[in-house]
Amino acid sequence: MPRSKPLPTLILLLLSAVSHFAFALPSFEGLSERDFEDYIASRQTADTQVADPPPPPGPLAFSGSKLVYDPAHPWIAPQAGDIRGPCPALNTLANHGYLPRDGIATPTQLINGVQEGLNLENAVAIFVTYAAMLVDGNLLTNKISIGRKSPKTGPDPPLPATAGGLSTPGLGPEGDASLTRGDAALGDNDSFDQILFDQFIDFSNRHGGGYYNLTVAAELRWARIQQSIATNPTFSFVAPRYFTAYAESALIINAFVDGRNTSRHLSIADATSFIKSNQFPQGFFRAPQPIGNDGAAQIFGAHQIPPGSNTNGVNTYTPDPNSANLAQFCLMYEHFVERSVKRLYPNPTAIQGWLYGGAALRAALMRVRIDALRGIYV
């Protein structure tokens, strides 16, 4: 984003300060620019001010392993009204105070939390967070729920945007064939599922000698895809879900194995702590260097399946040549914008630059945010 904003943009952002919609806005037609700004200023109060979101945080100053289950970050079970969702990592970070304990966060808080608590690599943290924010977050208030939709993220942007939270299926990272959550079409897609976790343990015993490793990850990922094909009439396994499914299978190893353990396999006890209890194992050290989705390609390579979906009920999996595959990252991003973002913000003014990284996504986020504001105020 350029530092100096053109005036209309500035006005739109200032207008966002008047973001309590209980009153009808007067027509601004005929107002001089000065009158208009005076009007905006008159409506601003400290708690209605909506600032231009800050640039994303940079990498950690110290990015090595360290104790993260420390006295400053005790585990506290979620209280009534606190939100948890489909991501065991974010749930755990919220339970330890690396994220707001109520489960409502800004992108900056999310990026800082996943970096500080689990050493997620800066570019990955920015990309995943901003992409999720674009489709699941509230672009007016700059807040996102790490689970289901919540009034705590503030007044909604105009329809068809939903600000539905990270549990929203089919738009961002959330989708079918999760390892420990059901498919949305089959019921609950964001709560921990004990039966699926029993299967996780069974696979770890049978294929990993009591540990979750890359071999287990490959077998379990494949099994979950086969189960969804056989049970979910609307099973969908296209980008971006196609990408996140393999990445998540690998992240369980990269993030949840203690940073002092060089074996890169996860004990069932530690998997249970993270995935079921959403708690760091006692004395947990984060990874020894910033992590990404290393291993995802091997998991995919063991049992390859093209992106696709059940097109006519269960067991009708049909490849979708229009979906990006794992080698087509830029196409995945393009589809994400064209299909997911534009479903919510049909006419974003200037989303372009299919570049990997925070800059393009932040620019996209800002443009869509401005459109959300325009949808309300102009």
**Is the CA virtual torsion 94, 99, 100, 102 positive or negative?**
negative
Task: Specify the residue, 83 or 251, whose C-beta has the smaller distance to ligand HEM.
Answer: 251
Nearest distance in Å: CB 2, ligand HEM: 26
Task: Establish if 299 lies at the interface with ligand HEM (CB under 6 A).
Answer: no
Considering only residues 139 through 168, tell me which ones interact with ligand HEM, judged by CB under 6 A: 166
- Give phi and psi for 302, each to the nearest 5: -70, -35
Among 114, 253, 326, 368, interactor with ligand HEM by CB under 6 A: 114
Task: Establish if 364 lies at the interface with ligand HEM (CB under 6 A).
Answer: no
Q: Which two tokens stand for residue 261?
A: 């353990």
Nearest distance in Å: CB 88, ligand HEM: 6
49 CB-near residues (< 8 Å, 6+ apart)? 17
Task: Establish if 240 lies at the interface with ligand HEM (CB under 6 A).
Answer: no
Considering only residues 181 through 210, tell me which ones interact with ligand HEM, judged by CB under 6 A: 181
Among 14, 255, 257, 370, interactor with ligand HEM by CB under 6 A: 255
CB contact burial 161-192 (16+ within 10 A = b; e otherwise): bbbbbbbbbbbbbbbbbbbbbbbbbeeebbbb
Number of residues that bind ligand HEM (CB under 6 A): 26
Task: Establish if 137 lies at the interface with ligand HEM (CB under 6 A).
Answer: no
Give the neighbor-by-neighbor strand order of the sheet with 236-237: 236-237, 308-310, 317-319
Stretch that binds ligand HEM, among 49-57, 71-79, 210-218, 250-258 (CB under 6 A): 250-258
Query: How many other C-beta atoms can be found within 10 angstroms of the C-beta atom of residue 62?
Result: 8
Nearest distance in Å: CB 375, ligand HEM: 24
Q: Interior CA angle at 286 toward 281 and 288, to 5°?
A: 140
Among 82, 121, 248, 371, interactor with ligand HEM by CB under 6 A: 248
C-alpha 55/C-alpha 338 separation (Å) is 24
C-alpha 318/C-alpha 188 separation (Å) is 25
Task: Specify the residue, 127 or 345, whose C-beta has the smaller distance to ligand HEM.
Answer: 127
Among 218, 252, 299, 351, interactor with ligand HEM by CB under 6 A: 252
Task: Establish if 103 lies at the interface with ligand HEM (CB under 6 A).
Answer: no
Task: Establish if 370 lies at the interface with ligand HEM (CB under 6 A).
Answer: no
Whether residue 222 contacts residue 86, with contact meaning beta carbons closer than 8 Å, is answered with no
Nearest distance in Å: CB 273, ligand HEM: 13
Nearest distance in Å: CB 113, ligand HEM: 8
Nearest distance in Å: CB 179, ligand HEM: 4
Q: Point out which residues bind ligand HEM (CB under 6 A).
A: 86-90, 110, 114, 118, 120, 125, 128-129, 132, 166, 173-175, 178-181, 244, 248, 251-252, 255
